[in-house]
Amino acid sequence: MKFTSGLLAIAMMAVPAVNAAPPQQSSQTVVPPPWAYPVNPPDDKPPADDGPHSVPNSSKSFTRPQILDTFNVPDWHPEDHPAMPDVVEHGRKPAVRACGYCHLPTGLGRPENASVAGLSADYIVEQVAEFKSGARKSSEPKMQPPNAMIAAAKGATDEDVKIAAQYFASLKLKPWVKVVEATTVPKTRVSATMLIQDVGAGSEPLGNRIIELPEDLSRARLRDSASGFVAYVPPGSIQKGEAIVTSGGGGKTVRCAICHGPELHGIGPVPPLAGRSATYIFRQLFDIQQGTRNGEWTALMYEPLAKLSQDDLISIAAYLASLNP
């Protein structure tokens, strides 16, 4: 504890003075990029149920209605994690979905939410409190997962939050997102709160975007916690992101390691960044920059993000996601 406190003290001295107030909202609204904030179309429907489903390396089987039940986690690989506490496996009706449903029993999560495995319990508790207070919101108010998290934070008891936080903090973040630089990507559409390949629609230029897709769509639809994702990022973005993260990008910002640790694995209440979803990282940086995500420790990010462009945020996210957790 003394070691962590010492590191934090050093970090705080190295960071420029932090503005106490969140960034001022510009009179010209910055539209959240749709690729980072997927919103379900009105006609989005799950695939028809064609009987019990299975996935590789699992003896389990579930029907589609079971897979869609947000109060009962479809746990395909129980051997991959400790026994889930009740709030993680079943939630608390009516508002608190099973934590492991969205974030998966392994805590690895999906691009539309967060990888919570390996975050400190104190950090998780703090973030739930900020969802509950309204300090943490999404720049896209129609995006479903952040709204579900706000509802869960308001419906959960302090004990629920503590138990779930301790469970996810006990897990280890594993390699889960493969980062690939590309000039073209499959055309996509939104379904079940995530981007998926629009089969038969061909490909299109990636441009200045991150397109994060399931490695195996059928397994992702079944919420298989052993099937990860691929993040397509612009050519050169990983190297550009490395320069910004490790040296401050020529004065644009400060080195991320000052607060997030030498290998970006976090220090105390400052979260680890390495190896997490590129889309998620971008979304959080954008939310903080736009003033829609706030909080006590979030305030430390206001000044480091102030001079960064959206392309810079994409490059930072590409580099961080490419690192070993």
In this predicted structure, what is the pLDDT of residue 18?
46
Which of 7-11, 65-69, 313-317 has the weakest average pLDDT? 7-11
Cα 236 to chain centroid distance, Å, stands at 23
Rounded Cα distance between 302 and 231, Å, is 26
- Is residue 190 assigned to a domain? no
- Is residue 9 assigned to a domain? yes
- Is residue 182 assigned to a domain? no
Structural domain boundaries, residue 237: 2-176+232-322
Tell me the mean pLDDT in the region 101-128: 97
Q: What Å distances lie between residue 206 and 38, 45, 147, 185, 298, CA to CA?
A: 16, 27, 28, 6, 30
- Is residue 312 assigned to a domain? yes
Strands 229-233 and 177-181, bridge-based pairing: parallel
In this predicted structure, what is the pLDDT of residue 51?
82
**Who contacts 155 (Cβ-Cβ below 8 Å, separation ≥6)?**
92, 94, 95, 96
Q: In which residue are the tokens 């510009």 written?
A: 26
In this predicted structure, what is the pLDDT of residue 3?
39
φ, ψ at 278 (rounded to 5°)? -65, -40
Rounded Cα distance between 277 and 230, Å, is 9
Rounded Cα distance between 139 and 290, Å, is 7
- Is residue 125 assigned to a domain? yes
Rounded Cα distance between 177 and 273, Å, is 13
- Is residue 217 assigned to a domain? no
Rounded Cα distance between 259 and 267, Å, is 7
Q: pLDDT (tens digit, 9 = 90+) per residue, 259-318? A: 999 999 999 889 999 999 999 999 999 999 999 999 988 999 999 999 999 999 999 999
Rounded Cα distance between 54 and 77, Å, is 11
The CATH number of the domain where 290 resides is what? 1.10.760.10
H-only helix segments in the chain: 2-14, 64-67, 86-89, 99-103, 121-133, 144-155, 158-169, 217-221, 237-247, 257-260, 278-290, 302-305, 310-322
Rounded Cα distance between 59 and 288, Å, is 43
Average pLDDT, rounded, for the chain? 92
Percent of the chain with pLDDT over 90: 87
φ, ψ at 177 (rounded to 5°)? -125, 120
- Is residue 211 assigned to a domain? no
Three-state secondary structure call for residue 308: coil
Cβ atoms within 10 Å, residue 270: 21
φ, ψ at 4 (rounded to 5°)? -60, -45
Which of 46-50, 85-89, 225-229, 276-280 has the weakest average pLDDT? 46-50
Cβ atoms within 10 Å, residue 175: 11
- Is residue 275 assigned to a domain? yes
Which of 11-25, 71-85, 90-104, 204-218 has the weakest average pLDDT? 11-25
Q: pLDDT (tens digit, 9 = 90+) per residue, 171-190? A: 999 999 999 999 999 999 99
Is residue 21 pLDDT above 80, yes or no? no
Q: Residue 274 in contact with residue 263, Cβ under 8 Å?
A: yes
Total domains in the chain come to: 1
Rounded Cα distance between 314 and 325, Å, is 19
From the list 270, 286, 269, the residue with the least C-alpha distance to 278 is 286
